[in-house]
Amino acid sequence: MPERHQIAFYGKGGIDKSTTKIVSGAEAVAMIRSGDTVAFSGFVGIGTPEAVICALEKRFLETGEPSNLTLFFAAAPGDGKDKGLNRLAHDGLVKRLIGGHFKLVPKLAELAVSGKCEAYNLPLGIISHLFREIAVGKPRLISKVGLRTFVDPRIDGGKLNSNTTEDLVELTAIDGEPGLLYKTFPIHVAILRGTTADPSGNVTMEKEALTLDNLTIATAAKNSGGIVIAQVERIGAAGSLNPRDVKIPGHLVDYVVVAEPEHHMQTYATQYNGAFSGELRTPPDRAASMELNERKIIVRRCALELRKGDVVNLGIGMPEGLAAVATEENIINQLTLTTESGTIGGTPQRGLDFGAAINPESIIDQNQMFDFIDGGGLDLACLGFAQVDAQANVNVSRFGDVLAGAGGFINISQNTRLLFFCGTFTKDLRTEIRDGKLVILQEGQAKFIEKVEQITFSGEYARETHQTVLIVTERCVFSLIPEGLELIEVAPGIDIERDILAHMEFRPIIRQPREMAAVIFADGPMNLDQLLLERLLSEGIDFDAERSTRPARYGLDAGNLVTPSFEEKPTMPTSQTPDIQTLTNQINEMLAKFNMPGADPAALVREQARNIEAFAQATQVANKGAYGVVEKQLELFRAASSQLLMMFEDAALAPKERGELAKQAYEVALIGSREITSMAVKASENAFAITRKRMTEIFEQFRKAATIGKDT
């Protein structure tokens, strides 16, 4: 373990921690020594300790110290110009860079590309997890993330210039399959940010838009024998902080710096918004709709693939527009949008607010989000692309002397089951829509080229792992198949030879491409809220043992559980009325597989058919408002019937347990029915009348079920 940092003396004196942890920025950075490895928090401007960074730059410019630092960061703590770590891009100050993203720290990127310092670009999620591995003293992080990309040591090993020679990434084998080992190293100084600190150094983050990796970075530094500097905006009295609010405990913090407001903005675009931090919830976004242009066409096409309940990751840039379309289409609350920074739910933000979300449901640590991502938790990801080649490799990280960095792209793109790359077909093009057809006014530089400059996503690896990948542009859609890229959709008004093949450096597979949905190119909403509901109603009934969360003790097999199947993706619907007979037939087939002592499956089918018919009538009467009624009824039926099915299937249950399950089913019906009634009243009085009549019958049926269960 390296020698622990001791009290250092610069100029006229030093700091005695026995009297206080609250110091000036200048006093705090005086503790940093030449040659130190310094880890920073920050995601764009969120959590970026601007005041301490300013003090560090000032000290170097005035004294030449500290020098030859290694700067270690996950996301890019910068604004794309002069703020954040851009302030530290001085010759002699930086010896080595290890970063996940560089687009918003272009001055550091210039040092890396020019070879003025050693430089590595590792996946953002890997760096986030490296903090954790360093904290627990592990020598390596083992992962498959990065295989076949520029991070793979068989390609570049994450090195960004010829002056970078040390191998931080090694090839290994995991159960006979290739894997990567990422080297850990000590962190001498951690510079972090919170909201409030007390004299003991306990730090809360109640006004921060993200928690990031602050706790793990602080732990890594202390367990490496280093020091922790925390920037905050205010000081609380001793003992005044709620222990549940403390994100960095005082024993991990050496110095606290109170920043001026201009150096402690919540993001680089917003001084403070309580809806970012969860302090308050704002009304639903009523922002103007996106202009109908090539950007909106692309994200609209991606939006057609959404399913109710999908957990989705949106990348930076064009994919951010998917949140705007989801809001415009009234489906934002039917999805869970996430960012790799740690927000779950709400509406992810764009530009210099990126990383934050309006009205998030939860904010978790960044490394925890990458646990979820790397484990395959995402249903869908929408990411950008800059170059695509004949092998379906994608480059978003480096183009000549322009270094953007991979960010979380590699983690997300390698571990998401349904992946969309979205971007314009050529760079800097101009288009317009005339009479529902796409017209190319000016072509740009080719993006579909023979060979990408850097592999950020491996098409070969995706084919081996059987990943579903679509590349969506304003004029066409490609699908990754075992043989390569296939052209599967073409926009109305687009000629394949003139507008597509003439601007590609390779020829894709072409069989029978269909026309992209006309609704994408029309003004006004696409009615995706109705589409999502109809998919929920009409898609096949199937059992997926791997996705089932039903308790194993009930001994269910492939014939015993109903879950929506999302494998087949219907096209845009032509009707807003569910197919009652089809639904009834599906339920009939499902119930026929059960063996329920004391129950009549045929009677259950008839009763459920009456439910569907009643609520279809309510839908027709109340139109759009009653869709919520139908959806809630289905939710009610599934919840209540699951309890009854458990009772019927498990003959080993004691009479008392069977009665309790029946009682629970009745209570579920009662609670759900109240919600349905409220929704129906809002929809229309006629829909309410239909609903009330049917729910009266349901109450009676479940009451009888509960009575039978108790008497058994």
Instruction: Dump pLDDT digits (tens) for 459-473.
Output: 999 999 999 999 999
User: What whole-number distance in Å separates Cα of residue 321 and Cα of residue 318?
Assistant: 6
Say whether both 492 and 393 belong to one domain: yes
Say whether both 387 and 491 belong to one domain: yes
Report the sign of the C-alpha dihedral through residues 530, 472, 152, 355, in that order. negative
**Residue located via tokens 């903090």:** 131
Is the Cβ–Cβ distance between 37 and 189 less than 8 Å?
yes
Residue 225 DSSP code: T
Say whether both 301 and 195 belong to one domain: no
Is the Cβ–Cβ distance between 112 and 161 less than 8 Å?
yes
Give the total number of structural domains in the chain. Answer: 3
Say whether both 103 and 238 belong to one domain: yes
173 belongs to a structural domain: no
Residue 180: which region, alpha, beta or left (left: phi > 0; alpha: psi -120 to 50)?
beta
Residue 387, beta-bridge partner list: 395
Residue 404's pLDDT is 96
Say whether both 366 and 449 belong to one domain: yes
1 belongs to a structural domain: no
SS3 338: strand
4 belongs to a structural domain: no
| Burial class of residue 468 in the structure, from the number of CB atoms within 10 Å of its CB (0-12 exposed, 13-18 middle, 19+ buried) | middle
Residue 681's pLDDT is 53
Q: How far is CA 189 from CA 204, 228, 502, 700, in A?
A: 20, 6, 54, 68
Q: How far is CA 710 from CA 108, 641, 643, 706, in A?
A: 72, 17, 15, 6
User: What whole-number distance in Å separates Cα of residue 102 and Cα of residue 404?
Assistant: 5
Residue 175: which region, alpha, beta or left (left: phi > 0; alpha: psi -120 to 50)?
left
Say whether both 404 and 510 belong to one domain: yes
Q: How far is CA 27 from CA 32, 70, 219, 255, 404, in A?
A: 10, 20, 22, 9, 34
The DSSP bridge pattern shows strands 484-490 and 509-515 to be parallel
User: What whole-number distance in Å separates Cα of residue 591 and Cα of residue 561?
Assistant: 10
- CATH number, residue 55: 3.40.1080.10
Buried b (16+ CB within 10 A) or exposed e, 156-165: bbbbbbeebe
Reading the block at residue 328, the tokens are: 């415009």
377 belongs to a structural domain: yes
687 belongs to a structural domain: yes
Pure H helices in 32-180:
50-63, 106-114, 124-135
Residue 20's pLDDT is 81
621 belongs to a structural domain: yes
Is the Cβ–Cβ distance between 376 and 415 less than 8 Å?
yes
Q: How far is CA 699 from the centre of its chain?
A: 41
Say whether both 234 and 320 belong to one domain: no
567 belongs to a structural domain: no
340 is catalytic: yes
Q: How far is CA 380 from CA 120, 314, 510, 712, in A?
A: 29, 9, 26, 47
Tell me which residue range forms the domain holding 132: 25-139+185-263
Say whether both 225 and 308 belong to one domain: no
User: What whole-number distance in Å separates Cα of residue 442 and Cα of residue 32?
Assistant: 53
User: What whole-number distance in Å separates Cα of residue 367 and Cα of residue 1?
Assistant: 25
Residue whose C-alpha is closest to residue 141's, from 84, 194, 182, 102:
182
SS3 701: helix
Residue whose C-alpha is closest to residue 213's, from 441, 440, 40:
40
H or E segment at 445?
Answer: strand 445-446
Is the Cβ–Cβ distance between 387 and 439 less than 8 Å?
no
User: What whole-number distance in Å separates Cα of residue 700 and Cα of residue 666?
Assistant: 9
150 belongs to a structural domain: no
Residue 430, beta-bridge partner list: 442
Say whether both 197 and 322 belong to one domain: no
Say whether both 368 and 489 belong to one domain: yes
Q: pLDDT below 50 — which residues of the chain? A: 1-14, 540-578, 594, 596-597, 648, 651
**Residue located via tokens 């920037």:** 231
Say whether both 522 and 402 belong to one domain: yes
The DSSP bridge pattern shows strands 177-183 and 169-174 to be antiparallel
Residue whose C-alpha is closest to residue 456's, from 100, 146, 62:
146
In the set 328, 340, 489, 631, the catalytic residue is 340
Residue whose C-alpha is closest to residue 535's, from 496, 564, 502:
564
Residue-wise pLDDT tens digits, 256-302: 999 999 999 999 999 999 999 999 999 876 556 789 999 999 999 99
Q: How far is CA 106 from the centre of its chain?
A: 25
Reading the block at residue 571, the tokens are: 């096209």
Say whether both 496 and 642 belong to one domain: no
Residues with Cβ within 8 Å of residue 526, at least 6 apart in sequence: 300, 303, 304, 329, 519, 520, 572
| Number of other residues whose CB lies within 10 A of the CB of residue 617 | 17
Q: Helix, strand, coil proportions of the chain in percent (round to 5)?
A: 35, 20, 45
User: What whole-number distance in Å separates Cα of residue 172 and Cα of residue 174?
Assistant: 7
SS3 231: strand
**Residue located via tokens 């960010």:** 407
